[in-house]
């Protein structure tokens, strides 16, 4: 029935993507391939992936803590 429908967009464009669409499609494919490789690497080496995840998390927490502490006014009185 969908093949009989003549009004509106019902499928893929007849011309291949060009310009920004072509670049975006290539970039999405590259990101997808890299994500699959990361997942496969994490599955092969679970302890390394866990260690890296914890290290990055601790590093990000430390940066956030230092930035938060540096934004506090030092002239406040503490009680």
What whole-number distance in Å separates Cα of residue 43 and Cα of residue 40? 5
pLDDT in tens, 2-48: 555 555 666 666 667 678 888 898 999 999 999 999 999 999 999 99
Map out the domains of the chain as residue ranges: 20-70
What whole-number distance in Å separates Cα of residue 21 and Cα of residue 28? 10
pLDDT in tens, 41-51: 999 999 999 99
Q: What is the pTM of this model?
A: 0.52
Beta-carbon contacts of 18 under 8 Å, excluding residues fewer than 6 positions away, are none
């Amino acid at each position: 029935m969908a093949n009989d429908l003549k009004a509106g967009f019902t499928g893929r464009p007849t011309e291949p993507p060009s310009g920004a669409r072509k670049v975006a499609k290539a970039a999405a494919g590259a990101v997808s391939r890299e994500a699959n490789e990361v997942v496969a690497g994490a599955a092969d080496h679970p302890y390394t992936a866990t260690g890296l995840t914890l290290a990055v998390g601790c590093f990000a927490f430390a940066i956030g803590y230092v930035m938060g502490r540096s934004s506090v006014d030092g002239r406040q009185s503490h009680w």
